[in-house]
Amino acid sequence: MAKTKIVIGNWKMKLGAGQSLRLAESLRSLSAAGKFKGEIVICPDFTVLEDVGRIIKKTPIRLGAQNAALEGRGALTGEVSPLNLKELGAYYVIIGHSERREIMGETDALINKKMAAVLETKKLIPILCVGEKRRGQDPAAVFQKQLTADLKNIKIAPAQKIIVAYEPLWAIGTGKVITGKEVLRAHAAVRHILEKIYSPAIFARNFRLVYGGSVDEKNAANFAGLADVDGVLVGGASLTAVKFWKICVSLLKSARRPE
């Protein structure tokens, strides 16, 4: 079943507030070029989420967040409620990013609670990140462990959507290039596991799979036509408007190439 393609830009903690707003304004200008055959999402940090959302409000670009708390409301100092993200106009939220897992020590049990809290909002779409650390490690075994735990007892309503992002840690910022065959094998393994956890029908209706490992304007086209690849999650290349737009052109085709 053909699914809507999506390009997601994760700005991480790379930009100052002024830089974030200027980038959003540049993307707003580029987005006026034409219609899209897919979705574009940008995920700024929390400090500028509302302001960026205001800038892109009347554009085809949708707002995403980089993280969410494990409860809708509670005594969780320093955390950000998924309910508040929804109120600020976010459509998407990244959950279980490799940096959250590796640097911040997030466990699958914690990620499972975050997934439940996000889906309970009835509006936010989680972007659940999974992936192996080392090349040669069996990704299917890693996915089995992560997805089984991350989605434990998670029920999906017919209208709810989940994106699963494959992040091979060994290909992020290392200069190591992943092959199309490796991406296809990994995404096929994710699909197989999700079809077992839920069903082939629920997978087809509710899930999209995206690739997220050192995607840039030079290699994005390599992923555009691969089976089971419904889009890309972009890191560093999303911090430059023209580079990010070229990725959108590669994946979504109908966007006009910037001058």
- To the query of whether residue 192 is one of the catalytic residues in this protein, the response is no
pLDDT tens-place string over residues 162-219: 999 999 999 887 777 789 999 999 999 999 999 999 999 999 999 999 999 889 999 9
Each domain of the chain, given as residue ranges in start order, spans: 5-252
Task: Examine the residue annotation and report whether 182 is marked as an active-site residue of this protein.
Answer: no
CATH of domain 5-252: 3.20.20.70
> Which residue in the list 97, 99, 132, 217 is annotated as catalytic?
97
Residue 125: what are its φ and ψ, rounded to 5°? -105, 115
Task: State the pLDDT at residue 257.
Answer: 44
Q: Using CA atoms, how far apart are residues 107 and 141, in angstroms rounded to an integer?
A: 17
d(CA 224, CA 246): 13
Q: Residue 165: helix, strand or coil by DSSP? A: strand
pTM above 0.85, yes or no: yes
**CA–CA dist 72, 116 (Å, integer):** 10
How far, in Å, CA of 151 to CA of 108, rounded? 9
Q: Tens digits of per-residue pLDDT, 206-229?
A: 999 999 988 999 999 888 889 899
- The contacts of residue 147 (CB under 8 Å, 6+ apart) are 130, 164, 190, 193, 194, 197
Catalytically annotated residue among 39, 106, 132, 167: 167
Q: Does the pLDDT at position 254 exceed 60? A: no
What's residue 2's pLDDT? 67
What pLDDT was estimated at residue 259? 40
Helix, strand, coil share (%) of the chain residues, nearest 5: 40, 15, 40
